Amino acid sequence: MRVLVTGGSGFVASHCPEGRSLVESFAGIPDKRLSFVIVEDIAVPGAFDDAVDQEPPLDAVLHTASPFRFDIADLKKDLIDPAIMGTEGLLRSVMLKGKSVRRVVITSSFAAMSRDGNHPEVYNESHWSGLTMDQALSGHPFTAYKASKQFAEEAAWAFMKSERSHFELTTLTPPVVFGPILHTPDASIQSIRPVRVCSHLSAENAKVVWSRRLSSYGLTYGT
Instruction: Report the catalytic residues.
Output: 149
Please name the residues in contact with 153: beta carbons below 8 A apart, sequence gap of 6 or more: 87, 106, 108, 112, 171, 173
Closest CA to 7 of 94, 123, 86: 86
Q: Tell me the HSE value of 91 on the side-chain side, using a 13 A CA sphere.
A: 27
Q: Name the strands in the sheet holding 3-6, side by side, starting at the edge strand that comes first in the sequence.
A: 3-6, 60-63, 103-107, 168-172
Q: How far is CA 134 from CA 54, 139, 140, 149, 214, in A?
A: 40, 9, 12, 15, 26
Residue 168: phi and psi, rounded to 5, are -100, 155
| Number of neighbouring beta carbons within 10 Å of residue 194 | 12
Among 66, 64, 67, which Cα is nearest to 104's? 64
Q: In whole angstroms, what is the distance from residue 65 CA to residue 156 CA?
A: 14
